Amino acid sequence: MSAPLRSDARLFVLTGAGISAESGLATFRGAGGLWRGHRVEQVATPEAFAADPALVWAFYSERRRRAAGVRPNPGHAALARLEHALGDRFFLCTQNVDSLHEAAGSKRIVHMHGRLLESRCSRRGCPAGPYPDSNLYRTAAEIPRCPACGYLIRPHICWFGEIPFELERIREALDACSACLVVGTSGVVEPAASFVRIAGARGAQTVYVGPEEPANSGAFQEVRLGTSGSLLPSLVSSWLGDPGAAQPFR
């Protein structure tokens, strides 16, 4: 069994669609990459919103409805436990737009692709939002307008062709980390797919946990295949020095 996590360790965690899928949320692209006959790219770009905001909002309203019925799994809970133990030496970056990490108790978290239950003005530069919003907008008439400028309100989501949120803060956390744990990602989507290489180049320990080998598996020192709900609880216990843990991180 490996030694417990160093007392001064700084951990960067990246999570992807795999950890949410374990709770019953369909991955972003869904089966075959289609939603009601539309490619997901057709309902997740600024151009799509400009052309048919009602269609885009129908897509995200359906996602909001589905997200309301799911709960965190043991993988989410294990990461929240790890955060509680490490305090401000823990940084969680997620590609997911759901709130399952928060529901499990995580607080130090960055949603690089936005949040499903937030909205903002669609006019670039408008200071209105993002703000909490769990409403469903199924028709054009239901879509609210910005009280500041009158533009339509849009989901607070990083769409195709847009720049992910808080990249500077994420890069600072990567530069400072001594360990990098990636959970349930494909290793394809940039810039997140490069995070492990950035951390590894600075000497950080790199570990992957997920049901399938990611496309960037060669960048990890260790790859553990299996669901996060089945692997993370014991891995976290081992890293924190729990004598009852069965599987070490390193």
Tell me, yes or no, whether 5 lies in a domain.
no
What is the arithmetic mean of pLDDT over 42-69? 93
Whether the per-residue pLDDT at 34 is higher than 70: the answer is: no
Burial of 150 (0-12, 13-18, 19+ CB in 10 A): exposed
pLDDT at 128: 79
Whether the per-residue pLDDT at 6 is higher than 80: the answer is: no
Nearest one of 157, 152, 164 to 189, comparing CA atoms: 164
Told to judge if 111 belongs to the known catalytic residues of this protein, a careful annotator would answer no
Side chain identity, residue 129: G
Tell me, yes or no, whether 249 lies in a domain.
no
Q: Indicate the pLDDT class of residue 246, thresholds 50, 70 and 90.
A: very low
User: One of 76, 101, 113, 156 is an active-site residue; which one?
Assistant: 113
* Whether residue 194 is found in the same domain as residue 179: yes
Predicted TM-score (pTM) of the model is 0.90
Please give the structure tokens belonging to residue 151.
């533009």
* Whether residue 103 is found in the same domain as residue 177: yes
Question: 32-71 in b/e burial notation, b at 16+ Cβ within 10 A?
Answer: eeebeebebebbbbeebbeeebbbbbbbbbebbeebeebe
* Whether residue 148 is found in the same domain as residue 226: no
Q: Indicate the pLDDT class of residue 174, thresholds 50, 70 and 90.
A: very high
* Whether residue 183 is found in the same domain as residue 221: yes
pLDDT at 33: 60
* Whether residue 199 is found in the same domain as residue 150: no
Residue 228 sits in a domain of what CATH number? 3.40.50.1220
* Whether residue 131 is found in the same domain as residue 232: no
Residue 143 sits in a domain of what CATH number? 3.30.1600.10
Long-range contacts of 127-132 (CB under 8 A, 24+ apart): 129/153, 129/156, 130/156
The number of domains in the chain is 2
* Whether residue 79 is found in the same domain as residue 50: no
Tell me, yes or no, whether 212 lies in a domain.
yes
Q: Indicate the pLDDT class of residue 2, thresholds 50, 70 and 90.
A: very low
The string of DSSP letters for 18-72 reads HHHHTTTPPPTT-GGGEETTEEGGGGSSHHHHHH-HHHHHHHHHHHHHHHTT---
Please give the structure tokens belonging to residue 40.
């997901």
* Whether residue 21 is found in the same domain as residue 76: yes
Q: Indicate the pLDDT class of residue 249, thresholds 50, 70 and 90.
A: very low
Query: What confidence tens digit (pLDDT) does each residue in 185-217 have?
Result: 999 999 999 999 999 999 999 999 999 999 999
What is the arithmetic mean of pLDDT over 148-159? 95
Give, for 82, the enclosing helix (H) or strand (E): helix 74-86
Measured distance CA(83)–CA(102) in Å, rounded:
12
Please give the structure tokens belonging to residue 146.
């910005």
Owning domain of residue 218: 11-25+72-113+164-239
Tell me, yes or no, whether 247 lies in a domain.
no
